[in-house]
Amino acid sequence: MELHAWIWTFAAGNKRHNALIGKPPTYPGPVLAANPSWANIDNQGRRQNPNDGKFYLDPANPEARNYLLRIVNEIASRYQVDGVQLDYIRYPFQNDNAGFTYGYGAAARQQFQQLTGRDPVNISPSSGNLWRQWVEFKTNKINTFVADVSQLLRQNYPRTILSVAVFPHPESQRIYKIQQNWEVWARQGIVDLIVPMTYALDTNRLRRITQPLTAERNLGPTLIVPSVKLLTLPEIVAIDQIQALRDLPTGGYSIFAVESISSGMQGFFNRTQGRPVRSTSASEPIPYRQPFAAAASRYAAMKQEWSFLLANNQLRVLESDLRVLQIRSDELAQALSKLAATPTAGNLATAKRLLADFQTQFPSSMRLHSADNSYQVQTWQNRLDSLEMLLRYGERVQLHRG
């Protein structure tokens, strides 16, 4: 088990916390109480969000940013955590069509005015290109802060994993609503894990939300770890959703929250993932720690599944296709194992080439089996895609980390 510190990045206080510590609902929290000029302000001059009751820091304020970086540094240095997760790495939710927007702290207004000659309080969506500049300005404040955290960790704590809790809304919609463009962080490789909050009440919706997020063009050399929200789900639905995420091309899945893991859920994990083991050498490789080893292990599990089905006459493949499939399958397994044992650029190039060849051949080889088992074949293809993701990530973290 690893410990990753969860940080409320740009959120600074809320009414629920205030009730616990005996403060009035309008108390902004200790940080903003001591530094009121750091507040993120809406277009009506309010510091407290009227919708969620929270207070937020201004991502454009250099003092607030430095304060947050010092917190990250303190957590990483003093407590030696395995990772840091940035939550609330965004602006508050806005609806510019309804005239509700954020970002009007003193620092942001001054900086934007220096950049464009206009105070952002005096522009609106009808301002056209100037409004797009304002949204881009705010989005860039989030982007550069994530980059600053990444640089801090990689220079000083290179084994500390950086993950981000993000919203799964479509990219353009998300940029205008909360100025969160996590695709940029992923493609630039400045974060290790994208953890989208793919919370849904039914499995079909979970798949619809998650599938578009797993595209290679979104992720670059980064792993995606979608989420299941146990708090609002019956146990049987939660299990179904976890299995659905396992069948998609992802780096794994996350669960919110641990106190909702029932004895029944724990039994499910024991049956499907194996019981915890004390020996690290016998454990399944952690994908974000050992991506090449994880790729080899996942592929070996798929090969075992195919072998079992074949031995029980449950895999429908033409004899001629089967011979080719077995040869290429063995070659790929050997290449992945060699890469896991000896991570070099040459071994990676070989594994990538053989994986690409196998992915190209696979749908044709499985055409008979797919006629009656289309979901199963699609799941295998997704798992092959997840191997490709692990190799991209591994190239960055195991061959070119920095």
Positions in the chain short of pLDDT 50: 279-281, 402
Q: What does the alpha-carbon distance between residue 286 and residue 305 come to, in Å, rounded to a whole number?
A: 21
Show Cβ contacts of residue 32 under 8 Å, excluding neighbours closer than 6 positions: 12, 13, 38, 39, 47, 55, 57
Buried b / exposed e across 85-106, counting CB within 10 Å, b at 16+? bbbbbbbbebebeeebbbbbbe
pLDDT tens across 308-354, in order? Answer: 999 999 999 999 999 999 999 999 999 999 999 999 999 999 999 99
pLDDT of residue 282: 59
Q: State both tokens at 348.
A: 């990676």
Spatial contact of 194 and 182, defined as CB atoms under 8 Å apart: yes
Neighbours of 18 (CB within 10 A): 18
Q: What does the alpha-carbon distance between residue 303 and residue 32 come to, in Å, rounded to a whole number?
A: 56
User: What is the architecture of the domain spanning 4-279?
Assistant: Alpha-Beta Barrel (3.20)
Spatial contact of 260 and 231, defined as CB atoms under 8 Å apart: yes
pLDDT of residue 273: 76
Pairing status of strand 83-87 against strand 161-166: parallel
Amino acid at the residue 374: S
pLDDT of residue 280: 46
Spatial contact of 111 and 133, defined as CB atoms under 8 Å apart: no
User: If DSSP states are collapsed to H, E and C, what string results for the chain?
Assistant: CCCEEEEECCEEECHHHHHHCCCCCCCCCHHHHHCHHHECCECCCCCECCCCCCEEECCCCHHHHHHHHHHHHHHHHHCCCCEEEEECCCCCCCEHHHCECECCCHHHHHHHHHHHCCCHHHCCHHHCHHHHHHHHHHHHHHHHHHHHHHHHHHHHCCCCEEEEEECCCCHHHHHHHHCCCHHHHHHHCCCCEEEECCCCCCHHHHHHHHHHHHCHHHHCCCEECCEEEHHHCCHHHHHHHHHHHHCCCCCCCEEECHHHCCHHHHHHHHHHHCCCCCCHHHCCCCCCCCHHHHHHHHHHHHHHHHHHHHHCCCCCCCHHHHHHHHHHHHHHHHHHHHHHHCCCHHHHHHHHHHHHHHHHHHHHHCHHHHHHCHHHHHHHHHHHHHHHHHHHHHHHHHHCCC
pLDDT of residue 242: 96
Domain residue extents for the chain: 4-279, 291-399
pLDDT of residue 400: 82
Pairing status of strand 254-256 against strand 55-56: unpaired
pTM (2 d.p.): 0.94
